[in-house]
Each structure stands twice: as structure tokens, then as C-alpha cells.
Amino acid sequence: MHHVVSETPVAFLQNLLEATQIDRKPLRFTSERLGSLVRTLELNDLDEYSSLQRVANFATLIGTYQKGFSLILEPFDDRTPTIPDPVFHLW
């Protein structure tokens, strides 16, 4: 059974707040803060941190814009429906 969830940024942020107590405002600066941390630590191999950068960019996007797109969450891959393997799409 394929269960796809579609949420507005506002609904996603409300669920995030309820689950983690993380508010929208600090998310707006996630990417900038990660960049500052990377520079402070003088990290050289940035390819190792590309996944973390994607998460930071997503957090910044969702914290900055409250309308104009939807979040689509596919919690499972159709090939392995019993193993959680979430995928986010911005639409």
C-alpha cells in the first residue's frame, strides 16, 4: 500500500514544531549557519558534506517561504513497501 502525504509548508512546519519544538524562524538561517561552521572548521572536502548541505538548504527553504509550493512525502519505495525509505519532493 502506497501512502503519499502532501502538505503545505505551513502544515509541515506545524507538524515539525509539535514533534521537535523547532520553530520556523531559526530554520531560515540553517544554510548560512552551516556555511559559517564549515568555514570556521576549515573543512576542505566539501563533497563529504553535500547531503548535510541539502538538508540545510531544505530547512532554509521551508523556513523562508510559506506558500508557492507543496511538500510531497513518499514514506516507502514501491519495491520495498515494508521498509521505511522516505523521499521528499517539492512541488
Domain ranges of the chain: 5-90
* pLDDT digits 0-9 by tens, 37-77: 999 999 988 899 999 999 999 999 999 998 889 999 888 87
pLDDT at 1 over 70: no
For the record, the C-alpha cell of 40 comes out as 570556521
pLDDT band at residue 8 using 50, 70 and 90 as cut-offs:
very high
Interhelix angle for 50-64 vs 9-20, to 10°? 110
Half-sphere exposure of 65 (CA within 13 A, CB side): 11
Model pTM above 0.85: no
Q: What is the pLDDT of residue 72?
A: 92
